[in-house]
Amino acid sequence: MQRRSGVLAGVSALVLMSAWCAARSGADDAAQRKRLEGRWTGQVVDGGGERGPVEIAELLITADRITGREGAGRSFGEGSYRLEAGQPWSNLDATGIQGPTRGRTFLGIYSLEGDTLKWCVSNPGKPRPTELVSRATQGQYLMILKRARP
């Protein structure tokens, strides 16, 4: 009987700890989404950014949507997004909600330092990037963006 009570107490503690971690994760996610909200402008770059811009990019990030367009106004699409904290960068995956990207998921990683957002994303069906570097031959693109001021 004593052993069974100890196991139940351990399971109860584990359940409570899991619930606390899930609640904390939700709070961290909301805080990170808040930090990402806004209009971002910059470039899709070659390599890690040392070889200059490939094209102009703009992202609008809200609490639950991400919308992108290139400098000439062509839409990159609109999607929902999912965050997952990590070190040294976190995951930012976008899934298209309309048009040709509808239902397609773009796996990515990002770094946010002050007003600079670096987001490296792969084309659908490609593996998640493992570093913040463009590799066009592998369908992986790095955007370096600055927060736009109103």
Amino acid at 127: P
pLDDT at 4: 41
For 41-87, write each residue's pLDDT tens digit: 999 999 888 877 888 899 999 999 999 988 778 888 899 999 998 87
User: Residues 97-135: pLDDT tens digits?
Assistant: 987 889 999 999 999 999 999 999 999 999 999 999 999
Residue 23 confidence (pLDDT):
38
pLDDT digits (tens, 9 = 90+) for 77-98: 899 999 998 877 899 999 999 8
